[in-house]
Amino acid sequence: MLKNNFSGFQLEVGTDEAGRGCLSGPVVAAAVILPANFKHELLNDSKQLSEYKREILRPIIEKEALAYGISFVHHNEVDQLNVLQASITGMQRSISNMKIVPEYIIVDGNKFRKYLNIPYQTIVKGDAKYMSIAAASVLAKTYRDDFMKKIHQEFPVYNWKKNKGYPTKEHREAIRKYGTTKYHRMSFRLLPKQLTLEINHADGSTDLIKLNHTYNEQQIDWFKAGSALNLIKSQNA
């Protein structure tokens, strides 16, 4: 069961973001102050809720909250700041967009920056522990989903109305086929790194074949050496 309060302060705000791991679109952050007696049976971490349930909860949260704020950190700013700093910046902006200045801040995750000398606490998996963070998670997710559905109309081949910009196989295949758009995060690895297989034939001819893979850097070195044992042998020679 989600807890109503962490700090004991009445004006405690919970904040969270959505879209951190996406290849396209913004990071969207939300901040929510709920009344002390707020309860709703559906409210949980937005990642554990269906889209249908999130859409039910959004107007309830917006109506019942003492205050809430939303912030969009768009793809170009994500590239400039890096995604962690973009997430923190977005959460701080969402707090600044509220009509009430909070007395205490609780943050989903383990990173944050001091904001207006307001005390704060980071809470790993806080969206599954505290009501206000869970509510912020729902708002951040639904506002971002709406944005991705809107820009899907500009670039339907990427199917953002379904994948929401996350690195699905379908999304990456579309990037491979059609290239990038103005909404893609160019600082991200949009496609897996390819290997080149060189085949030397008996007649002296050579074929070069590009290979897609899911290897990490160490496994790539093994591949190039022929095996992990070959690599170890060459390193010890």
**128-173: per-residue pLDDT in tens?**
999 999 999 999 999 999 999 999 999 999 999 999 999 999 999 9
* Residue 213, pLDDT score: 59
Mean residue pLDDT of the chain comes to: 91
* Residue 211, pLDDT score: 67
- Would you say residue 235 has pLDDT above 60? yes
Residue 91, beta-bridge partner list: none
**Is 28 or 231 the better-scoring residue by pLDDT?**
28
Distance CA(191)–CA(166), nearest Å, equals 12
**Is 22 or 225 the better-scoring residue by pLDDT?**
22
- Would you say residue 28 has pLDDT above 60? yes
What are the pLDDT digits (tens) for 187-232?
988 887 666 778 888 888 888 876 665 555 666 677 778 887 887 7
* Residue 215, pLDDT score: 58
Distance CA(153)–CA(150), nearest Å, equals 6
pTM of the model: 0.80
* Residue 121, pLDDT score: 97
Q: What is the CATH number of domain 12-163?
A: 3.30.420.10
Which residues belong to CATH 3.30.420.10 in the chain?
Answer: 12-163
Percent of the chain at pLDDT above 70? Answer: 92
Three-state secondary-structure class, residue 26 = coil
Nearest by Cα to 67 from 41, 18, 105, 122: 105
